[in-house]
Amino acid sequence: MRVRECLLKRCVAPGRSVPVVTRSVPLLPSRDLRETLGVYESLSFENRGAPPKEWDSSIPVRDGAEFHFIGAPNLDPLTTASSCFVFVDDADALHQEWSDIGVREDPATGSRLEAPTDTAYGMGDFTLVDLRGNLVRVGSPLTPYPTGTADVAPASGMFPEQEASRLSPFHP
């Protein structure tokens, strides 16, 4: 049996259990945690951590999305390579919401909100680059999840019939 097939079927030796990965959270750098938190609060996130000055971090959360920002005072927002992908149920609607709020475009930091696109890998997605240069790709499947399954969709965000032809969501 191929390794990928074994992993998908969670093959293990008799008497052994497989640890379950329950979630992951990106750690993203911020030159100014208070400003970064302000940007995400304007996009309807709320801080679930201590005040930034207390822990040198902030934890904006909205629905199932959670980011951990860490203090990086020497960060250059135009050269950082930090990024993450956020799966949502309707990328177009969220893009419209954030467009209505108004994401500040700033050539000095690269901050911008890019228009949504339909991708070859079966996702509709858009990109937010925050004032610290963190690239946040946001997407939803072009084919809706089968009824009642959105909360148990695979980590790729796609079902087997979609996954066969998908490419990486991190490449255009």
**Is residue 168, in this structure, part of any structural domain at all?**
no
**Is residue 111, in this structure, part of any structural domain at all?**
yes
Give the domain extent around 46.
24-148+158-163
Give me the pLDDT at residue 24, please: 79
Give me the pLDDT at residue 9, please: 60
**Is residue 57, in this structure, part of any structural domain at all?**
yes
Residue with tokens 């177009």: 92
* Nearest one of 120, 150, 123 to 138, comparing CA atoms: 123
Please give the model's pTM, rounded to 2 decimal places.
0.69
**Is residue 33, in this structure, part of any structural domain at all?**
yes
Domains: count for the chain: 1
- CATH code for the domain of 99: 3.10.180.10
Per-residue pLDDT tens digits of the chain, which is 172 residues long: 555 565 556 565 667 676 777 777 889 999 999 999 999 999 999 999 888 888 889 999 999 899 999 999 998 988 888 999 999 999 999 999 999 999 989 998 899 999 999 998 899 999 999 988 999 999 999 986 565 555 544 444 444 444 444 444 443 3
Other beta carbons within 10 angstroms of residue 40's beta carbon come to: 22
